[in-house]
Structure 1
Amino acid sequence: MRDNADFRRLFCASALSLTGDWFTFVALSGFVYRHTGSPGWTALLFAVNSLPGVVLLPLIGPLTDRVDRRRLRIACDLGAVVPVAGLLVAFHTRSVPLALGCLAVLSLAAAVASPIPEAALPNLVTSRELPLAQTVLGSLYSAGLLVGAGLGGVVCAAWGASATLVIDGASFAVSALLVARIGRPLSATVTTRRIRMRADTAELRAFVRATPVVSAFLWLTVGLRLCYGVVGLLPVYALDRFHAGDAGVGALYLAQGLGAVLGPFLGRRLVAGSMRRRLHTAGAALAVFGLGYLALAQVTALGPAMAAALIGHLGVGACAILAVNGLQLATPDHIRGRVMVLVFGLSSAFQGVSSLAVAPLAASIGMPGATRLSAGLAVVCAITWAIRVTRQDRPKNRQARAAADRLRG
């Protein structure tokens, strides 16, 4: 952070935009619940925030490898100001459909912008610095949740939802300015070859099939996000079960964020630079996520609920960041953008599907029942994935992981 100005700018740009996003999400959670009275609609926010970008996945991946990553990120940041302004109108007119539409547009911009820092990071730091740099950068999502959701609840309660939206819009503008000041290129090589979605997608598919470590981490991502929709019920726990208002929503998100910030650093210490340990630790972290939410379904007060959310998201943070860093280490630059977009796309798609499933489940069997079902699925996925990885731990796959370890330095 002190010696690498370009990394510092990328870090600060990502931190600002993510923090602003969580300010908005806290305000949206309360807005939608108050105007619909439905836990399902509140959980649906996660689906709307996840699924739209999946539709454009075959285009976004090649864009990240073929188009100047700096210009692409700046365009996304500046373009995101428009739907934020639309949310101000939606809040003023009390229009839930308009609010959901603006959130969908924001998710499209995020689908293009979010994979860029991970794809570009190996070009801004040395291979020896990469694991720590990715741990720090990857934990920004959680830190943005920790600061953005916690402060967002306070700001929303004190000054109203409109103030949170103004802060979000300003964060995008400052983020664009910081990215524009990054001196080093965000791509190792510049290509003038035009985007060919079918050929580029076929190349990506062949690479994933030929690289067992990459395939394993992608499957782990699917398992994590398939169960992640249960997180959309956190605002409902605060508002309906604990009767804690917007401040309670912020408190649960703050506990969630604290766990997810600490998880990557804990996971990094446990793997000790070994790809084999990374694989097994990431799977265990998925099980911790499920156990944390099983505990949440049992509690009846805000304090214990915060502890359960913190434990669950220790697992989320470790699992997600260990997977992303493993993919970075195993992927060359010319295809890294597509791999990062693929992992973000899989995360969005399965998180959205999970959120869509949680909504009717919460309405039919109640929040605790839906929480137990999703959390139990996470534990089952972790066990299944661990068995699969153990069976793959054979000489040829050990050689592939050893090559990734050597790439790390």
Structure 2
Amino acid sequence: MQETKKEPGTSGTPDAPGIPAEEAGYGRVFAVREFRAVFAAHAFSLLGLMISEIALSVLVYRLTGSPLMSALTFAVGFLPYLIGGTLLSGIADRFPARRVLVVCDLVCAGFVAVMVLPGAGIAVLLAMRCALAVVAPLFQGARMATLTDVLGDGDLFVLGRSLLRIVSQSALLVGFGLGGLLLSVVSPRGALLITVATFLTSAALLRFGTRRRPARSGARAPLVKDSLSGARQVLADRRVRVLLLLFWVPPMFSVAPEALAAPYADGLGVGSAGLGLLMCALPVGTIAGELYAGSRLRPEARARLALPLVCCTLLPYIGYVLHPGLLWSLLLLTLSGAGSAYSLGLDQWFVRAVPQELRGRAMTLNTAGLMTVQGVGMALAGVVAEFVGVAATVTGAGVLGTVCCLLLAVEARRTEGSAAEK
């Protein structure tokens, strides 16, 4: 499919004709009817996932009495992301996006419905959890690519994706609390039934709230071969490759305080309340940074600040060398989270650097890589902390992460204006 040329500074979509990119704000994004459907579907899917993770963890613990098995219900969700995001990513481009999104939601509803069955044992529960993680990057990648159809590839897309991230971060603040409250009145399997309903609602919103569009790619090669070929094409471009690394590397280091929050809170003697605050500080900073950058800064300013911010976002972690108390730790984490506003600038560069016929695969690969490196980062933080302690591990993540970000920023400058982005 040939990429449709758009006039500079317009949204390029029928739903939002002629909206100047420099005037686009969050309110303008919600003015696009199809985006409202995508946004609502995202909220329902996210709600379902949060409930299912809590309910499944509790259910596995009740069946086994093992904290390790309960923790595995979270851990097994990382590796399948990489599998689905690489071997099956071609699905996002070779079929109409709306069909991919609706089918993914229906398949996920089916997987969770299997978990609800009274006879479903531990093996079945973990297998279904893995299956959900295989489908997730396909859904998320296709949804991100769909945003370019709905909002164009200008500033409206950047703000639309920002809103979806804000919802995801907000869910971290309230989702687990709501899930715990829900489990106080219904059984874990009953909570999983609610997850089935949220996936079905998401599917209905996407089916009837978005327009049918043709597939981006007419590829008819075997799926796995097509997916791997697409991944190679995406990674072969120097500009795209460095942007992907800029998406992946900071989160790989930034998860260190989250992975080690429990032992650090224990060392400070702040109890479960302090632990909750430590877990919330980074998402709070992220939401604040995204909201400010999206609502107060012009697109040109966000682009100028992207690389300086990505180089600074991990610097607050170096403050852990002083073994800060609770209040100082919260401040450092909030500042680091605010630095993640660099994502708005990267989003704009990334969507322009990837050819339209590869966008679904590129977005899927981005999502899969992001989840995988965060899992690796958490595991590495835990291993290192066993030898040098929590404070030294977080400090090291700040130092090493900042160095890596600086090197990537230099490479990103070198690739500006590459042919793929013109």
Alignment partner, residue 349 of structure 2: 326
Q: Is the 8 A contact 1:66 1:194 kept in 2?
A: no
Alignment partner, residue 401 of structure 2: 381
Alignment partner of 1:191 out of 181, 197, 218: 218
Q: Are residue 357 (structure 1) and residue 383 (structure 2) matched?
A: no
Alignment partner, residue 309 of structure 2: 281
Alignment partner of 2:85 out of 57, 61, 75: 57
1:356/1:271 CA distance change after superposition, 3 Å: farther
Letter in 2 for 1:76: C
- The separation in 1 between residues aligned to 2:79 and 2:195, in whole angstroms, is 21
Q: Is the 8 A contact 1:278 1:326 kept in 2?
A: no
Alignment partner, residue 141 of structure 1: 168
Alignment partner of 1:393 out of 403, 407, 413: 413
Q: Are residue 101 (structure 1) and residue 127 (structure 2) matched?
A: yes
- The separation in 2 between residues aligned to 1:122 and 1:286, in whole angstroms, is 30
Q: Are residue 14 (structure 1) and residue 42 (structure 2) matched?
A: yes
Q: Are residue 335 (structure 1) and residue 358 (structure 2) matched?
A: yes
Identity of aligned residues (%): 25
Q: Is the 8 A contact 1:153 1:249 kept in 2?
A: no
Give the aligned CA root-mean-square deviation in angstroms: 3.9
Tell me how many residue pairs correspond in the alignment. 387
- The separation in 1 between residues aligned to 2:271 and 2:53, in whole angstroms, is 19
Letter in 2 for 1:221: F
Q: Are residue 314 (structure 1) and residue 314 (structure 2) matched?
A: no
Which whole-Å deviations, capped at 9, do the CAs of 1:157-191 have from their partners, x for residues lacking one?
Answer: 56564554333222111001001013434557463
1:172/1:250 CA distance change after superposition, 3 Å: farther
**Which range moved further: 42-51 or 347-356?**
42-51
Q: Is the 8 A contact 1:118 1:340 kept in 2?
A: yes
Q: Is the 8 A contact 1:221 1:347 kept in 2?
A: yes
Q: Is the 8 A contact 2:37 2:209 kept in 1?
A: yes
Which whole-Å deviations, capped at 9, do the CAs of 1:24-82 have from their partners, x for residues lacking one?
Answer: 334455667784345xx676555312111312333322111111221111121122123
Letter in 2 for 1:57: G
- The separation in 2 between residues aligned to 1:238 and 1:27, in whole angstroms, is 25
TM-score for both structures, normalised by structure 1: 0.77
- The separation in 2 between residues aligned to 1:157 and 1:318, in whole angstroms, is 36
Alignment partner of 1:79 out of 87, 92, 107: 107
- The separation in 2 between residues aligned to 1:165 and 1:295, in whole angstroms, is 43
Alignment partner, residue 51 of structure 2: 23
- The separation in 2 between residues aligned to 1:74 and 1:386, in whole angstroms, is 40
Task: State which structure, 1 or 2, has the greater radius of gyration over its C-alpha atoms.
Answer: 2
Runs (5+) with no aligned partner, structure 2: 1-28
- The separation in 2 between residues aligned to 1:202 and 1:350, in whole angstroms, is 22
TM-score for both structures, normalised by structure 2: 0.75
**Which range moved further: 201-210 or 334-343?**
201-210
Q: Are residue 179 (structure 1) and residue 206 (structure 2) matched?
A: yes
- The separation in 1 between residues aligned to 2:298 and 2:146, in whole angstroms, is 23
Alignment partner, residue 197 of structure 2: 170
Alignment partner, residue 151 of structure 1: 178
Q: Is the 8 A contact 2:310 2:342 kept in 1?
A: yes
Alignment partner, residue 66 of structure 2: 36
- Shift of residue 253, structure 1, vs aligned partner: 5.2
Q: Is the 8 A contact 2:109 2:200 kept in 1?
A: yes
- The separation in 2 between residues aligned to 1:306 and 1:379, in whole angstroms, is 19
- The separation in 2 between residues aligned to 1:42 and 1:263, in whole angstroms, is 33
Which whole-Å deviations, capped at 9, do the CAs of 1:170-214 have from their partners, x for residues lacking one?
Answer: 2111001001013434557463644564466445434544342x2
Letter in 1 for 2:183: C
Indicate the SS of the match to 1:170: helix
Which whole-Å deviations, capped at 9, do the CAs of 1:238-291 have from their partners, x for residues lacking one?
Answer: 8997553xx887766555443332332344456742645323323323445x45
- The separation in 2 between residues aligned to 1:376 and 1:278, in whole angstroms, is 23
Runs (5+) with no aligned partner, structure 1: none
Alignment partner, residue 33 of structure 2: 5
1:314/1:325 CA distance change after superposition, 3 Å: same
Indicate the SS of the match to 1:49: coil
Which whole-Å deviations, capped at 9, do the CAs of 1:301-331 have from their partners, x for residues lacking one?
Answer: xx7776665444334x435554344312322
Q: Is the 8 A contact 1:43 1:355 kept in 2?
A: no
- The separation in 1 between residues aligned to 2:198 and 2:45, in whole angstroms, is 5
Alignment partner, residue 112 of structure 1: 138
Letter in 2 for 1:318: A
Alignment partner, residue 345 of structure 1: 368
Q: Is the 8 A contact 2:289 2:338 kept in 1?
A: yes
Which whole-Å deviations, capped at 9, do the CAs of 1:217-241 have from their partners, x for residues lacking one?
Answer: 2112331343355434557778997
Letter in 2 for 1:36: S
- Shift of residue 143, structure 1, vs aligned partner: 2.7
Alignment partner, residue 157 of structure 2: 130
**Which range moved further: 177-186 or 331-340?**
177-186
- Shift of residue 347, structure 1, vs aligned partner: 1.4
